[in-house]
Structure 1
Amino acid sequence: MRTVLVTGPGGAGRTTLAAATALAAAASGRRTLLVSAEPIPGFPTGPEPTAVTDRLDHARIDSGAHFRAELTELQQRASGVLDLVGAGRLDGEELTELPGSPQLALLHALHRAAAGDWSTAGYDTLVVDLPPLDQALALLALPEQLRRYLRRLLPAERQAARALRPVLAQLAGVPMPAQWLYEAAARKDEELAAVQALVEDASTTLRLVAEPGPAAEDALRTARTGLALYGLRADLLVASRVLPRHSSDPWFADLAAQQEKCLGHWHEEWAPHVPVHEAAHLGRDPRAADDLAALAVPAPDERGPGRVDDPWWIEEEPGEEGPGEESRPSVLAWCLPLPGAAKEDLRLVRRGEELLLTVGPFHRIVRVASALRRCTVSGAALTDGVLRVRFTPDPALWPRTP
């Protein structure tokens, strides 16, 4: 399934462009599902996929309903513990949606489309209207992060004591919480793994939407670093609400000139790897399918441009070996392209077999490549937009040669 994730700075019209992308995909003959949290004029508003056209369905995420359903189910699974401590149950009507629930509801919708009940509908293309750009990048990194938290807090090896739980449950008189807790964690890990696989799939790309201007230019420049850090790939940059370039009105002419300058930078920085599509300003907010078609947004290609499964690569740097030293590789460099990153915003920490990497507002924890786990970090440098972390083989751990 081809997946297109649409995001951009707030107020740039990403929901409109997501709908235009979905309509273009459906018009090209592919069965398409559009998922959004925002209402779209002329589109159905139900939480389940509902037909818009012959080949296009739309599902609107109801984060409040998802939050109430999840918390109600959690109360049911923990009923033994709640009864033991005399806790009162909360009814669905009195539950108020908490911050963060929209993101979890969107992840749940992605799971339904990737490996749940929606995945059996035979969709060829999935178009997802994501939150604004900074939130979207954090959201796409969330499945990997949450799975790591689950592995650390509830490691699988601790489940070895599962055979003792029925005995302990009889002694206590209530079901042991560890049992349902581990079962719930396993279900969540499976759901998150499906979403992570969808995000990392070679046929998944981002479609960026931004209105040309200084603020959007800064936001996209920062986003390039985040995309590289998380291994994401954009297939199109849509410049929204582009004004006519020639106007007799000085006020409009100045705005158009500012947009044209910004567009020149985008064509220079993003193309040819990421094409830039200019969507003309309609003079009003789009109100119908004809307005969306007038934006002339290209349909995503069938397979997508693909992506590098692992953006890191290893280089060998020449090293000096003194007489009598054991034969071992020279210094190794673990490299990652980080366009737009600044040295002062870069922080690196190695913890065991993991590398904690922070670049500006973005943070990621990655496992060190197997060949480097017997090495010590001897330095790091950011040169020409490429981060190089230098590793020196540890003589005590590196295999000796006769």
Structure 2
Amino acid sequence: MGIMLVTGAGGAGRTTVAVAAALAEAQTGRRVLLVSGDADDGLGVDVLRPTPAADFRREFLALQERSATALDLLGATPFEDAELTELPGSASFALLRALREAAARVRGHERDLVVVDLPPLLDALALLALPEQLRRYLRRLLPPERQAARALRPMLAQLAGVPMPAQFLYDTTARWEEELAAVQAVVDAPTTTVRLVVEPGPAAAETLRTARLGLALHGLALDAVVANKLLPAASEDPWFAALTAQQHAHLAHLRTGHDGAVHALPHLGRDPRGAEDLALLAVDAKPTPAPAWTVEDRRAEDGTLVWHIPLPGAVKGELSLVRRGDELLLAVGPFRRNVPLPPALRRCTVAGAGLVDGDLRVRFTPDAGLWPKAP
């Protein structure tokens, strides 16, 4: 067991599906923890709620305390706890912190499964990409291998009478790096899967394509697609029957456009009321591994190495690739990612790329000046 992340289109019922999944797993005897800011209490499953306001105040006051000497020299007036209100973006960091805490309980064998109620799809994908992005920014701005003259800093600090800013920055960066690495390890773990919730309507197929593309770009597995709020098929009312037929047509389109399972959940005609209603909305899905990024050695055939990057649903016109140093800057649709090259490909030059049935194939030619020569 591990981490189940639940996201989807806005208004599709993400929280309901997340609660139903957590409750169904708990009723089998598993020790389940639900991470959600919107789920109700008293449904038979433990809930861990992110606390953006409290987290922001704690982090801000801790930073203020560590900077007290420098702030005093500048004549700054410190903030008090009672006057602080969280800034935009605090909810994202609070959710990541809650995810890390919940995952620690799984590693500590306190829990078997964590179900996480994520924001709508695009926000969720941006959130899951955040730890890797921030770690990259920190390494570029404050590379740890360039902490020059570390032995001189205590002496310089005594002469100046204040802590050296560089040391303060590196200490803070090291702490952030540790926390971000812990969250990224949870996101990248093979036991972390994503469940997508959509309504069977005109936007469902595009939502699924976007989800598959964004998740594959970040190496995440889509364990199930849930078509929620499906109306009953039999009705004598012409308007209702037409709406139902439209829903079922979109459901069929979803199933033809996805090589995995699409689970249909009924519209209850009301908001779910308690465990009995939620039991009707449980999905029995088996986790599937994320598509693998592999390097194919074709040196014997045509002298190249081919990096296969699965991007289901990608369109050639929405794709761009730029190599910069030991990274590949990959943009596809609304998503961007700076991907470190595998060690073998860092000693190669890019020879071309092609997209075949959702498989991006980037060809590399070994650099004769860097590649080991055969004995």
| TM exceeding 0.5 | yes
Determine the C-alpha separation between the residues in 1 that align with 2:174 and 2:277.
Answer: 45
Within the candidate set 264, 273, 278, 2:264 is matched to 278
In structure 1, the residue matched to 2:350 is 377
Aligned pair 1:360/2:333, yes or no?
A: yes
Determine the C-alpha separation between the residues in 2 that align with 1:307 and 1:228.
Answer: 7
In structure 2, the residue matched to 1:17 is 17
Determine the C-alpha separation between the residues in 2 that align with 1:336 and 1:216.
Answer: 25
Task: Give yes or no for contact 2:198–2:226 (8 Å, CA) kept in 1.
Answer: yes
The equivalences for 1:388-399 within 5 A come to 388-399=361-372
The equivalences for 1:93-242 within 5 A come to 93-115=82-104, 120=108, 122-242=110-230
What's the RMSD between the two structures over aligned residues?
Answer: 2.0
In structure 2, the residue matched to 1:387 is 360
In structure 2, the residue matched to 1:30 is 30
Aligned pair 1:345/2:318, yes or no?
A: yes
Determine the C-alpha separation between the residues in 1 that align with 2:346 and 2:65.
Answer: 44
Cα displacement (A) at 1:269: 2.4
Instruction: Report % sequence identity.
Output: 59
The equivalences for 1:291-306 within 5 A come to 291-298=277-284, 304-306=287-289
* Pair 342,284 (structure 1): closer, same or farther in 2 beyond 3 Å: same
Cα displacement (A) at 1:179: 2.5
Cα displacement (A) at 1:319: 6.2
Cα displacement (A) at 1:398: 2.8
Q: Which amino acid aligns with 1:7?
A: T
In structure 1, the residue matched to 2:50 is 61
Cα displacement (A) at 1:399: 3.1
Task: Give yes or no for contact 1:20–1:293 (8 Å, CA) kept in 2.
Answer: yes
Determine the C-alpha separation between the residues in 2 that align with 1:32 and 1:16.
Answer: 16
The equivalences for 1:257-276 within 5 A come to 257-271=245-259, 274-276=260-262
Q: Which amino acid aligns with 1:279?
A: L
Cα displacement (A) at 1:317: 6.6
In structure 1, the residue matched to 2:296 is 314
Secondary structure at the aligned position of 2:339 is classed as: strand
Cα displacement (A) at 1:315: 4.5
Task: Give yes or no for contact 1:112–1:118 (8 Å, CA) kept in 2.
Answer: no
TM superposition outliers: structure 1 runs of 4+ over 4 Å? 117-121, 317-320
Q: Which amino acid aligns with 1:28?
A: T
Determine the C-alpha separation between the residues in 2 that align with 1:311 and 1:24.
Answer: 33
Q: Which amino acid aligns with 1:34?
A: L
Task: Give yes or no for contact 2:9–2:121 (8 Å, CA) kept in 1.
Answer: yes
Task: Give yes or no for contact 2:212–2:222 (8 Å, CA) kept in 1.
Answer: no
The equivalences for 1:239-258 within 5 A come to 239-258=227-246
Secondary structure at the aligned position of 1:214 is classed as: coil
Task: Give yes or no for contact 1:210–1:238 (8 Å, CA) kept in 2.
Answer: yes
Q: Which amino acid aligns with 2:11?
A: G
1:94-145, CA deviations, whole angstroms, 9 ceiling, x for partnerless residues?
2232221111111111121223x78647011100000100111111111111
Task: Give yes or no for contact 2:2–2:192 (8 Å, CA) kept in 1.
Answer: yes
In structure 2, the residue matched to 1:2 is 2
**Number of aligned pairs?**
375
Determine the C-alpha separation between the residues in 2 that align with 1:192 and 1:396.
Answer: 37
Within the candidate set 304, 312, 326, 1:331 is matched to 304
Cα displacement (A) at 1:318: 6.8
Cα displacement (A) at 1:67: 1.4
Task: Give yes or no for contact 2:295–2:305 (8 Å, CA) kept in 1.
Answer: no
1:72-111, CA deviations, whole angstroms, 9 ceiling, x for partnerless residues?
1111111111112111112222223222111111111112
Determine the C-alpha separation between the residues in 2 that align with 1:264 and 1:190.
Answer: 45
